[in-house]
Chains A and B, each alone.
Chain A
């Protein structure tokens, strides 16, 4: 199974900060990676698909990048409504797996 490791587990940042979340795969996943945002008590929401494609309706302050085993989600200017847990997800090979999540808090 491909293991997905997200770092840091918890991130505290201030409104307006540029925030970078990392996701590392245990093997090359060929950019077959998505990012999800889950707010407390809600279902996950797709933000980014296939590494760097912004889902319809998602603000442009969110962006994704990466290749091989290393991937990044960037929020260019953190907003209060971005407080959530963020998960990466690989579908390069089964079983499809999620990272453990990064909880983003306001400082």
Chain B
């Protein structure tokens, strides 16, 4: 059974940093591209970043480019999202997802990030 379990969320002040993790199991993690998708409170879904199966390629939405870094450790079957210079508009539930092609097929349960002073 595929499982994706996010951790690392919480309350953080504007301008500070936070690092999210996503532990994967039930599939060969190193074979799959992965992504982060977020959802602001009572809002819709927003793609954030994607990383290739081997970590060689990364893609970001413009609003997080230069502030967020997606990475992975295939030996640990873990996906990361380093979030720096956080803003109030980054407040959201962050989901990690495995990609079938470009399709997010399996999703974690999500982790909440609140950026507030």
Seen from chain A, the residues whose Cβ lies within 8 Å of a Cβ on chain B are 32, 34, 36, 38, 42-46, 49-50, 55, 87, 89, 91, 94-101
Q: Give complex CA distance A98, B39 in Å.
A: 11
Seen from chain B, the residues whose Cβ lies within 8 Å of a Cβ on chain A are 37, 44-47, 50, 59, 61-62, 95, 100-110
Q: Give complex CA distance A104, B70 in Å.
A: 34
Are B100 and A98 within 8 A (Cβ)?
A: no
Q: Looking at A38, A49, A50, A95, which has the most chain B CB atoms within 10 Å of its CB?
A: A95
What A residues does B110 contact at CB under 8 A?
43
SS class, residues of chain A in contact with chain B: loop
The one of A32, A55, A87, A97 that contacts B105, using a Cβ cutoff of 8 Å? A55
Contact of A45 with B45 at beta-carbon distance under 8 Å, contacts A95-B61, A95-B62 already known: no
Instruction: Kindly report which residue of chain A lies nearest to residue B95, judged by CB atoms.
Output: A43
Instruction: Kindly report which residue of chain A lies nearest to residue B62, judged by CB atoms.
Output: A95
Are B103 and A44 within 8 A (Cβ)?
A: no
Q: Give complex CA distance A42, B59 in Å.
A: 26
Are B100 and A89 within 8 A (Cβ)?
A: no
Are A89 and B108 within 8 A (Cβ)?
A: no
What B residues does A87 contact at CB under 8 A?
44-45
Q: Give complex CA distance A44, B110 in Å.
A: 10
Seed contacts A94-B59, A96-B50, A101-B45; 11 additional CB < 8 Å A-B pairs: A38-B45, A43-B95, A43-B109, A46-B104, A49-B100, A49-B103, A55-B105, A89-B103, A89-B104, A95-B61, A98-B46
Q: How far is the CB of B70 from chain A (nearest CB, A)?
A: 14
